[in-house]
Structure 1
Amino acid sequence: MSFRRVLTPFDATMVVIGGIIGSGIFINPYIVAQRLSSGPLVLVAWVAGGAIALVGALAYAELGTRSPKAGGQYVYLRDGLHPLLGFLYGWALLVSIESGAVAAVALTFAQYALRLAGGAESAATPLAVAAIVLLSGVNAAGVKPGSRVLNVFVILKVAALAVLIGAGLFFAGSGTWRQQTQAVPHAPLLAFGTAMVPILFAYGGWQNANYVAEEIERPERTLPLSLLAGTALVVLVYVLVNLVYLRALGLEGLAATSTPAADAAQRMFGGAGRTFVTAAIAISTFGFLDLAILAPTRVYYAVAADGAFPQALARLHPRFGTPVLAIALQSGWSIALLLTGNYGELLNTVVFADWIFFGLTVLSLFAYRSRSRGEATGYRMPGYPVLPAAFVAVAALIVYSVVRADPVRAGMGAVLLAAGVPVYWWFTRGR
């Protein structure tokens, strides 16, 4: 049995947008403001990060059209570089990156939903578990039901951000924009480099559409369209949201708060503004949680189909056409991490690996072209080889920055990745 190609261009674009926008844009821009010396420089950094993300999306678009198979990034690493690298990506995704993200995002959703409803904080963990179970059931029942839920929540989260942007641009007429030039002194070049780290992590997520490439209608056309349109829209939204934060709070105000969206909304709408942002974060995290269950499970399916994970994970439900056991495995492990409270450490130790694999995946494009792997399609990445080479260099710098900032945690992540090597040899022995 094979996957069914039922995801439309709109569905695929929602996957891209939903995979990038989580709760971070409502909270994390203050880190960037702390590291830069002026409001305009903050905006330049977000534009630069968006340009890098678009280059990555361009590369993934060509890779996806050359090999439109379930698993996306795993397939490109396996075929372009080495099967072990592909396996280690799937291993990191399952053991830490996605399972830890599901646990963390589910808990964030529960906390904000309870805050909105006036519920007890002690109910956060049970509600988070219930959300994981509910969305696992929805996605097990078919990619279309999971996609419909995602579409609704992506539209709601973008609408919430549009309201914040619209009100913020109107609010700027009161003259608070001049506050954005208040300086926070830093060494300019070093500060800009350190500011790019959280920005580039915030832009990650476009690869989710490639995970479900085997379920997308006409992927040779739809993947490039959805990757570019979705990523470009997110770049526009992120830059405008940061402009609103700067106009409403000023640079020093933005740097001083870990809740910039709530603070900006409160200035514009009073107490109702905080309630609005609380609802927006709950909506955004619920939609992100749905996608984190829908898309990455196709990677485990692909790894299992190659015999590097238990074969049962490669079975599709005879009626729904979904990798039910892969969904159950990730969700079960996520719940275990949530209940034990270990997801934060696991997520932090391997999250830098995201950009290791981003860089390696774009590097695989050189191998695909040089070996003429995959069917030659109508889409070819513009700016080759300069743009993909620049992306690989940026990815290497990001990994270096993270390792230098926290070598102990990065070392723990490397050990966790290395632990996947004997697992790979065990499953593939005799082949």
Structure 2
Amino acid sequence: MKKGICKLILFCALLVLTGLIPERQTNAAEEYTYYITFNQIYQYEITKEQFESIRGNWNSLTPEGVLEIARQIVPEDQIPSHLTNIGIRAVPKNSSEGELPAYPSDKTENLVPDNGFVVSQGVLLRYEGKEEVVTIPDTVTSIYQGAFMQNAAVKKVIIPSSVKNISNAAFYQCPNLQFIVCAGKAASVGEYMVYQCESIVNMVAPKSSKEYAYAKGHDIPVVTSEKTVLEAKTLHLLKGDKQTVKLYNALGTIRWKSSAPAVVSVDARGKLLAKRAGKAKITAQFGGKKYTLTVQVQTKSEDKRVDQVIKTVIKKGMSAREKVKAVHNWLIRNVKYDYHNYLRGTVPHVSHTSKGALVRGLAVCDGYSKAFMKIMKKLKIPCKMIAGVSEGGGHAWNLVKVGGKWLHVDVTFDDPIVNGKNTNTRPRYTYFLKTDAQMRKDHAW
């Protein structure tokens, strides 16, 4: 069975949407702080009763109706003068997501951009410039929510050591943002500091910093130097595999070349296609220098795929938890749910097998689970598959033993159908290493 993600969206004079934490299951046992949100990035705390009143009447409310309620709750100077959407959200208490400042009134200060920067009392409220490389002034101590919101010009941002606080969604829907360089160590970093910036190549940050930990925790490549380097020295692929190679800290034109195009071809964007067994050297030319990696291609089989996954994502010194996470993420990025056959009731047998996931890259829940278990076995990590029920239908997932405890991993549900498509490649962790009690909220076995 497959879990989908749905968002209630109304298009009217304003765009109005339910603004709960993205793809997160609410836990009735947790305590929450409630907010009404503006433009998806500014928020004002409201009571639980106010939140539930708005949520309970959501289907019957018009955009103007929600705005009218907001005006009765929120001081006028806390509502942005340029309003594009309004919503509600619930945030677990003690979460960094709740530690966000209220909207700074644009009616109390006449803020004029200076070289594109709008700054108030050390807080960078927004960047309105059109530069590709942006160096934040060292007079800035905090980066506010949405400071870089939907800015299509920015490709690289350099954050000085003076910045001690980076809010949630500081970098929000910047389609061409590739590099974020953090010179210092912030005291606080929002859990969604970088949100829906799909072109990110890498971050640069000190290894002991919260920015470095943020990148690691959100699967953003991170290095400690602005030196230009390829993401790897060697790659292992199977025939038919496609993979895009990243050249870190390379802003500009990169010229790619393969020494054996019949074995591995590479296009202008660094996308590789493994054509047949053999070896090739891939060269990236940038800034007058050449950077080379070796690609080894093998024929495709389940066992060779398991070996290839381990060579690709398992690093020396990893803990069992880190290995489980690496495999979980590889499956989400490389396996698609057989959604179209699922809808038609025509799922072939192979999609129920590890071969479907590991060789064809297409599977349903038991195929995901069997593939996960097969890789765990090779890593000598105890693992089982559970056949149970979720959302009224049959479903399969895994139990894995980490730190002496058996915990649940549901790779299928962490690889959701988004907007009716099976093209998701962003790992979720809603069902990652969960206890029996946590899983029983929507799973039964």
TM-score of the superposition, structure 1-length normalised? 0.22
Looking at secondary structure, tell me which structure has more strand per residue: 2
* Higher Cα Rg, which structure: 2
Decide which structure has greater helix share. 1
